[in-house]
């Protein structure tokens, strides 16, 4: 699809316009782009650079600096394991390891059939419920290894 016919670019354009094409609101614009496209593709980054009159290197530099931005598309479903301190000492690293083993992917990767992406988070701030795993944006607390593997199966079924 070209930029002219892809409605998502329209959404992005509107958001930049609302912010007055403010160069300093680059991070806000990247958030909108990621929400709209699901990830930040090279074309999207180039589009933003052009519209905000910023060098592409700068836009790429900012997009790659922050953990929150993804440069690759996500799978159909995603699971995020919290690796904050409270979750870590309650065994979230073991949950992560098991998921990696079972689906043959590492953190940040997607299964070859694009069904499942595995991600880790620095901390959701839900430390009282440690360990926390988020399945397709729905957080669950006090998770065990078995729960987690079952929930993932249920999700991708």
Partner 1 sequence: MITSLNELKELADKKKCTDDNSRQELRVCMGSSCMSLGSAELGKSLQDELQSRELNDRYKIKSVGCSGLCANGTLVSHCNGNESTLYEKITTSDAKDLVDSIQNGGLLKDKMCDIAQPFFAKQTKIVLENAGMIDPDEIEDYIAHGGYIALFKALDEMTPKEVIEEVKISALRGRGGGGYPAGIKWESVSKVISEQKYIICNGDEGDPGAFMDRAVMESDPHRVLEGMAIAGYACGANKGYIYVRAEYPLAVEKLSRAIKQATKLGILGENIAHSNFSFSIEIRLGAGAFVCGEATALIASVEGNRGNPRQKPPHLTDYGLWGKPTVLNNVETLANIAPIIKNGGAWYKNIGTQNSSGTKVFALTGHIKNTGLVEVPMGTTLRELIYEIGGGIPDGKRFKAIQSGGPSGGCIPEELLDLHVDYESLKNAGSIMGSGGLIVIDDSSNMVEIARFFMDFCRSESCGKCTPCRVGTTELTLLLDKFIKKEATKSDFELLKEMCEVLKSASLCGLGQTAPNPVLSTIKYFESEYLEGIGDD
Q: How far is the CB of 154 from partner 1 (least distance, A)?
A: 17
Contact between 136 and partner 1 per CB under 8 A:
no
61 backbone φψ class: left, alpha, beta (φ>0; ψ -120 to 50)? alpha
| Sequence-separated contacts (24+) of 42-49 with Cβ below 8 Å | 43/3, 44/12, 47/3, 47/9, 47/12, 48/12, 48/16
Given candidates 10, 50, 73, 85, which one binds partner 1 under the rule CB under 8 A?
A: 85
Q: How far is the CB of 112 from partner 1 (least distance, A)?
A: 26
Q: What angle do CA 148, 79, 123 make, to 5 degrees?
A: 95
Contact between 96 and partner 1 per CB under 8 A:
no
Say which DSSP state 125 is in.
Answer: S
Given candidates 25, 71, 119, 156, which one binds partner 1 under the rule CB under 8 A?
A: 25
The site for partner 1 (CB under 8 A) is made up of 22-28, 30-31, 58, 61-62, 65-69, 83-86, 88-90, 121-130, 132, 138-141
């Amino acid at each position: 699809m070209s930029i002219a016919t892809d409605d998502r670019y329209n959404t992005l354009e509107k958001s930049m316009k609302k912010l007055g094409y403010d160069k300093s609101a680059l991070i806000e614009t990247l958030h909108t782009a990621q929400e709209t496209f699901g990830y930040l593709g090279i074309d999207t980054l180039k589009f933003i650079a052009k519209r905000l009159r910023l060098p592409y290197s700068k836009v790429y530099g900012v997009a790659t600096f922050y953990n929150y931005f993804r440069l690759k598309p996500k799978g159909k479903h995603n699971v995020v394991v919290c690796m904050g301190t409270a979750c870590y000492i309650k065994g979230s690293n073991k949950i992560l390891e098991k998921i990696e083993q079972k689906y043959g992917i590492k953190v940040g990767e997607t299964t070859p059939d694009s069904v499942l992406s595995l991600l880790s988070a620095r901390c959701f701030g839900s430390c009282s419920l440690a360990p926390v795993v988020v399945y397709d944006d729905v957080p669950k607390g006090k998770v065990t290894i078995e729960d987690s593997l079952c929930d993932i199966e249920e999700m991708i079924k």
